[in-house]
A and B are shown apart, each in its own frame.
Chain A
Amino acid sequence: KKLLNCLVNAGINCTYAFLHAVGFAMRDVSKVFLGAHAFMSNGALYSRVGTAMVAMMAKEKNIPVIICCETYKFTDKVQLDSFVMNEQGNPNDIVNISTTLAPKPGLLSEWLNKPDLKLLNLLYDLTPSKYITTVITEVGMIPCTSVPVILREYK
């Protein structure tokens, strides 16, 4: 919503949609731009949860996926999936189903009272390198498999 605010204030025509509608929205899309929290040495992107889904959808339709990432976010680590390392957010954040500013709890509001129910709010996910077309860094445009090369050159 913050991004939407920024773009609308800059005068750009925007359409806001839920993540479930990404397949439908892809029909009108020619390029996808995503941000990054970190870039692994196997070319995988570690970013906000939902990023991987958008990238995969775009790849299915042969739409270029462009990641904008500074080189200080490149790491020596290698991660193969989203579960090996992740961060849990506050589970109460997913109880609120309101689309306006006023919170409206849904069916999950009594989750603490139900012994068999646990809520999981993961904050990050991993996008494999095959879904990423290019990475734009301050040193230029590189393919995502060249992340370890940049790390090597700058050591």
Chain B
Amino acid sequence: MESLKDASQKLKSSVKNSISLSAGADLFLRFVTRTSHDVTNFEACKEHLMNSGKVLVEKAAAVREKIGDLGVQFIKDDATILIHSYSRVVMLLLQRAAACKKRFKVYVTESRPSCLGIRATKLLCKAGIPATVIYDTAVGYIIDKVDAVFVGAEGVVENGGLINAIGTYQLAVVAKAANKPFYAVIESYKFVRLFPLNQYDLPTHTPDLLTFPDLEHHTDLSEDEIIGNYEAINPSVDYTPPDYITLLCTDLGVLTPSGVSDELIKLYL
């Protein structure tokens, strides 16, 4: 058990943005500890561990199909959808909806600095779904033309809040102000045992962002040196509180944000 925990720690610390990874690792550890009472000798135990690992990996892929089937009901005919960045689950959901002969259009945010939104748009256009890239800053401009917002997530925290690519919180606030539903589409293995009180409580928080350049003592610096490497100190994920999320489509069913805690308590307590 100890070596498993150590391996899990090592894995978590090696990847920079490790929230969904830590969720999956914790779930695996839990699955193993819960089901290992009926195993007698060490060899059988090892065998059991390997099989559990394989089962989890297979299930992870199948889970997205299930979510696609559940989430299709939220896309109505002739709807305009807004999505953020690139999420495999959301892509599958949209492709499933197109296959069900629903006609809809998609706006995709550019999602700087990763610009994954552009990749998402290309894939959608290839699948025959009309899609346009909009600036992240143009979300307020476009929200009144949109019927629903769909996002994926890196992780869902204990109170039902989301951790996702930077810009999701802004999108959620704008959607709430414009009275548009905000749906999160996420696999259940991404439920993570974190409880952030605000943005700055995340393990991925970049504290350098809160410092300002010392301009009094460094008057000889050029303009570029004063700005510095702002890409390194800006965050890559943000936290969306549960009040802004309408519903979460998961493989455990369509849940409200308070339902997430229910599922986590059933699993971990």
Contact = CB atoms under 8 A, between A and B. Distances in A.
Given A62-B198, A133-B197, A141 B158 contact: yes
Given A64-B198, A134-B197, A143 B269 contact: no
Contacts, number: 40
Interface stretch (B1-9, B139-147, B208-216, B259-267): B259-267
Contact of A146 (B198, B243, B265): B265
Interface residues of A, number: 17
A43 to B, nearest CB: 8
A134 B197 CA distance: 8
Contacts of A133: 159, 197
Contacts of A140: 269
B158 A143 contact: yes
Contacts of B269: 139-140, 150, 153
Given A146-B258, A146-B262, A150-B265, A134 B198 contact: no
A31 B197 contact: yes
B265 A143 contact: no
Q: Which of A31, A130, A145 has the most CB of B within 10 A?
A: A145
Interface in B172-188: none
Interface residues of B, number: 14
Interface in A105-135: 130, 133-134
Interface string B235-269: 00000001100000000000000100110011001
B197 A64 contact: yes
Contacts of A66: 197
A143 B213 CA distance: 39
Given A62-B198, A64-B197, A134-B195, A153 B265 contact: yes
B197 A142 contact: no
Nearest to A150: B265
A12 interface: no
Contacts of A141: 158, 195
Nearest to A140: B269
A149 interface: yes
B167 interface: no
Given A64-B197, A134-B195, A142 B266 contact: no
A66 to B, nearest CB: 8
A146 B258 CA distance: 7
Given A139-B269, A142-B158, A149 B197 contact: no
Contacts of A145: 258, 261
6 contacts: A64-B198, A134-B159, A139-B269, A146-B262, A153-B265, A153-B266
Interface of B: 158-160, 195, 197-198, 242-243, 258, 261-262, 265-266, 269
Chain A to chain B: the 3 pairs with minimum beta-carbon distance, closest first: A145-B258, A64-B197, A143-B159
Given A62-B198, A146-B258, 8 more contacts: A31-B197, A64-B198, A139-B269, A142-B158, A143-B159, A149-B262, A149-B266, A150-B269
